[in-house]
Amino acid sequence: MTQTSQSQNRSFIGQPMNRIDGPLKVSGRATYAYEQPHGEPLYGVLLGASIGKGRIARLSVAAAEATPGVHLVMTHRNAPAQAPFGEPTVRPGVQRPRPVVFQPEVRYFDEPVALVVAESFEIARAATEQIEIEYREAGGTFSLDDAREAIYAPAMANAGLATDSVLGDPDGAFAAAPVKFDQTYTNAFEHHAPMEPHAAHAIWDGDQVTIYTSAQTPAQIKDGVSNTLQIPPENVRVISPFIGGGFGSKLIAHAEIISAVLAARMLNRPVKVALTRQQMFANAGHRPMFEQRFRIAADTGGRLISFSHDSLCTTSRFEEFAEQAATAYRSMYEAPNRATRHRLAPLDINRGEWMRAPGEAPGLLAGECAIDELAEQLGIDPIEFRIRNEPERDPERDVPFSTRGLVQCMREGAQRFGWNRRVAKPASVMEGRKLIGIGMSAAIRPNLIGPGACRVMIHADGRLTVELDMTDIGTGTYTILAQIAADSMGLPIDRVGVALGDTRFPKTSGSGGSWGSGSTGAALHDACRLLKEQITTAARAMSNSPLFGANAENALFSGSRVTIGDRSAALTEILTVVAPKGLSAEGKVERGQALKDFSQHTYGAHFAEVSVDADTGEIRLRRMLGVFAAGRILNPKTARSQIIGGMIWGVGAALMEEGGLDPRYGNFLYSDLANYHVPVQADIQDIDAVFLDEYDDKSNVFGSKGIGELGICGAGAALANAVYNATGSRIRSFPITVEKVL
């Protein structure tokens, strides 16, 4: 008789489990960075520069300092020494020193020039208004047009990717081809707007500082602080148990973190600093503005002859960010002649930063419209056109695909969405005064595995604790890692506790690049393997163990029991005698090696139906479907939520999100959620995401791949193509707002 219950035997991986942390979040018991109740904190408020470029000519802080309740006014005059910022191209830029209020020079509009620390947030904010500053302005470059003379080729694009790639003779082939397409697409700046704005709470104890902050990658924040303050990394601890959304802006240490740490040390009191929503627009990175030119040639049968993608994007003059917009097409369609190029236009703004699917998101937004345009020019259905140009092997690297589910995604999506009901001739379908259109697009995103470690501890009562510095940015990490641990150890899931987001735990690559669960899950699996070996060895060897002397080769951990050959005992029975104090093991995952030998990606196909009001131009999304091939799905519920979130970002990029830079002053014009529009519940009526059954054994032990950034990839193009199908007008500047439609 075994005591094993059904639920204990079931496999948790692959189940649509609810989030373990859900109840804490919805009941307000999950504490975010600014809410952490430690010490008696003071409150810091940053004051930003009101010019785009120049220097502080006169500064008076006397009135601010004299304000009752103010403890510190930190400016470049009294800020502690910090490491220099360094050259624009320092790599890797994630760990570079990021000094704050360190010089009278102003490099971008709203760059912090002072930090006021006071008894309350309100006092600090009021005192910032008492600071008198006169600036001497210098001429800055605040528009892409003004930067054209300074356009340059970076040494490499982001993530160490090559700046250019060329195969064959794309220009010659283009010139000689029977069917040609040559268009340029632009998109506006996009800004980060997570629910939880950036915040930090710094507490010093001797030479040790603890920072509660909203971080995707605690280890990178720790390194950034250590490098900026020139203190040993082991003196810095970063804690981020809950994060209210992280989409790239929380990968590195920004001004709120550095300034809180500096002020807390100067005052010997805990200090909290948060960026306001408005301050986030200039101080938390943004997606650059792009001009992307596609020159594509085909034969009359719809086979591509030549494919060139030229990406020009804005960057900061003081820090390079070369978003890799043209890299997606290096693996996308077959064409014998091909080229991709990245160029940068330096402006006097803060640099762009990673923003959900950096590279692929803007690249596919434009490119999947170009493919749609050329398909129409050829008179071929856009799905059929893509299928005709489906590569057998990676078209730029001489390697096979690990998996390639694109065609299947398009076919499955077409069938589910009712693609055959689409009328190819644009502006053909009307319902009342509404023009109706359907569009589709394809998606591709590289699969990455980041290095990391994970610790597991089994206690004598059979509970398992999992520790790693990985974060849950709302994606379901707590839940997915618990599922993996429960399956690995053969335990019920409620016997597993997952602790995340603390740099005292083993280091991981954190939440970024879509590598989170695929990488840390593999490290956890490895840790469990080592732990099981320890338990098995002890259980066999110790004479008081119920499994003493068991000599079958394999041990099976299932239903809270360990079985070796025909002998079996409860895990707790074994542990009580062989390890009353418990056992622990640390596992690891290496950087993904298969990427060298395989072209390894996730794929998808998006379908959208829109209505366009014939009188007002208002575009409404009526239906949207994404079908994805992304390896094994570890938790279909969290995966679906995450990927739908990404698709909604695509809706924002296509229709709403519009950062504007004032070409006179260099300030971002729209710096709150009233002016910077993102899709809200009322904009998203009917949306669904479906995953195909897939397993990629080149990725990790689970056959899973990263999905975090796949949802946005290509999503916006499906809407843009639907708008064209509805109206007959091709709008090549994103977002597609009302005035462009009319």
Residues found near ligand MOS in the complex (CB under 6 A): 216, 247-248, 251, 354-356, 358, 512-513
Q: How near is the Cβ of 358 to ligand MOS at its closest, in Å?
A: 5
Q: How near is the Cβ of 357 to ligand MOS at its closest, in Å?
A: 7
CA angle 464, 469, 471 (to 5 degrees): 95
Q: Are 560 and 462 in contact (CB under 8 A)?
A: yes
Q: Which is nearer to ligand MOS, 194 or 617 (CB)?
A: 194
Q: Which is nearer to ligand MOS, 280 or 625 (CB)?
A: 280
Taking CA atoms, 490 is separated from 18, 114, 561, 633, in Å, by: 20, 55, 7, 20
Q: State the Rg of the chain over Cα.
A: 27
Kindly tell me the burial class for residue 146, based on how many C-beta atoms sit within 10 Å of its own C-beta (0-12, 13-18, 19 or more).
middle
Map tokens 């090559």 to a residue: 162
Map tokens 């250019």 to a residue: 164
Q: How near is the Cβ of 177 to ligand MOS at its closest, in Å?
A: 36
Q: Are 369 and 717 in contact (CB under 8 A)?
A: yes
Q: Are 713 and 444 in contact (CB under 8 A)?
A: yes
Q: Which is nearer to ligand MOS, 52 or 245 (CB)?
A: 245
Q: How near is the Cβ of 247 to ligand MOS at its closest, in Å?
A: 5
Q: How near is the Cβ of 646 to ligand MOS at its closest, in Å?
A: 11
Catalytic residue list contains 256: no
Map tokens 């999304």 to a residue: 621
Dihedral sign for Cα atoms in the order 480, 481, 486, 492: negative
Listing DSSP states for 262-281 in one string gives: HHHHHHTS-EEEE--HHHHH
Q: Which is nearer to ligand MOS, 216 or 563 (CB)?
A: 216
Q: Which is nearer to ligand MOS, 437 or 646 (CB)?
A: 646
Q: How near is the Cβ of 245 to ligand MOS at its closest, in Å?
A: 10
Q: Are 471 and 242 in contact (CB under 8 A)?
A: no
> Per residue in 686-699, is it b (16+ CB within 10 Å) or e — as a string?
eeebbbbebebebb
- What is the rounded distance in angstroms from the CA atom of residue 21 to the CA atom of residue 51? 43
Distance of CA 313 to the CA centre of its chain: 19
Q: Which is nearer to ligand MOS, 358 or 492 (CB)?
A: 358
Q: How near is the Cβ of 515 to ligand MOS at its closest, in Å?
A: 8
- What is the rounded distance in angstroms from the CA atom of residue 121 to the CA atom of residue 41? 10
Q: Which is nearer to ligand MOS, 98 or 422 (CB)?
A: 98
Q: Which residue is nearest to ligand MOS (CB)?
A: 248
Q: How near is the Cβ of 737 to ligand MOS at its closest, in Å?
A: 25
Q: Please state whether beta strands 271-274 and 236-239 pair in parallel, antiparallel, or not at all (unpaired).
A: unpaired
Q: Which is nearer to ligand MOS, 229 or 707 (CB)?
A: 707
Residue 567 neighbours by CB distance under 10 Å: 17
Residue 230 neighbours by CB distance under 10 Å: 10
Q: Please state whether beta strands 619-629 and 687-691 pair in parallel, antiparallel, or not at all (unpaired).
A: parallel
Q: How near is the Cβ of 446 to ligand MOS at its closest, in Å?
A: 12
Considering the candidates 105, 390, 709, 739, report the single residue annotated as catalytic. Answer: 709
Q: Which is nearer to ligand MOS, 250 or 640 (CB)?
A: 250
Q: Are 612 and 600 in contact (CB under 8 A)?
A: no
Kindly tell me the burial class for residue 357, based on how many C-beta atoms sit within 10 Å of its own C-beta (0-12, 13-18, 19 or more).
buried
Q: Are 468 and 452 in contact (CB under 8 A)?
A: yes
- What is the rounded distance in angstroms from the CA atom of residue 77 to the CA atom of residue 293? 47
Residue 78 neighbours by CB distance under 10 Å: 11
> What is the chain's percent helix, strand, coil content, to nearest 5?
30, 25, 45
590 token code pair = 């290496």
Give the type of residue at 492: P
Q: Which is nearer to ligand MOS, 209 or 448 (CB)?
A: 448
Helix 218-229 × helix 255-267 angle, to 10°: 50
Q: How near is the Cβ of 227 to ligand MOS at its closest, in Å?
A: 20
Residue whose C-alpha is closest to residue 498's, from 457, 538, 526, 460: 457
Q: Which is nearer to ligand MOS, 437 or 510 (CB)?
A: 510
Q: How near is the Cβ of 473 to ligand MOS at its closest, in Å?
A: 8
Catalytic residues: 709
